[in-house]
């Protein structure tokens, strides 16, 4: 399925047209927005795309929207909604968004905390590092 994903940077436009088809690579996370963000960040030389705007053919799935947040995208414009893609393409984006509203233990893929005390020690040390990488 072809889809267009464009990222506009305030200083220079970055165009990224992708064939949004994860099947040939046998991966479920090869989505156009993620690829466009990766490409733009490489061209700019920074993981944050502050001031950038994403234009996409459909409302981003939860993974792609999370990528927009991580990249500090300013705004997302989309043509069709998650309801449209569920009705006409049987995509599950709407269902995934609903899953994230549930408590972690009640989701289709339940998750649970473990080894928090041990892991927290690592985060405390990380927090003290003067040269820690914040992305």
The rounded distance, in Å, linking the Cα atoms of 66 and 73 is: 10
Task: List the Cα angle 38/101/126 in 5-degree steps.
Answer: 55
Residue carrying the six token digits 């064939």: 19
Is 33 marked active-site? Answer: yes
Catalytic residue among 33, 92, 106, 125: 33
Dmax (CA) for the chain in angstroms is: 51
Within 1-135, where are the H helices?
Answer: 32-44, 62-70, 82-89, 93-101, 116-128
List all residues 6 or more positions away from 25 whose beta carbon is below 8 Å from its beta carbon. Answer: none
* Catalytic site positions: 33
């Amino acid at each position: 399925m072809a889809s267009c994903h464009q990222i506009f940077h305030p200083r220079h436009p970055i165009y990224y047209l992708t064939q949004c088809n994860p099947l040939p690579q046998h991966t479920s996370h090869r989505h156009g927005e993620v690829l466009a963000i990766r490409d733009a960040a490489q061209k700019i030389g920074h993981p944050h795309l502050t001031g950038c705007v994403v234009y996409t053919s459909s409302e981003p799935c939860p993974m792609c929207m999370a990528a927009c947040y991580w990249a500090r995208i300013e705004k997302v414009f989309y043509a069709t909604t998650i309801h449209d893609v569920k009705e006409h393409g049987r995509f599950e984006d709407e269902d995934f968004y609903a899953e994230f509203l549930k408590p972690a233990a009640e989701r289709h893929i339940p998750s649970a905390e473990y080894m928090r005390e041990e892991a927290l020690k690592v985060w405390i040390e990380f927090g003290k590092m003067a040269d820690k990488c914040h992305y």
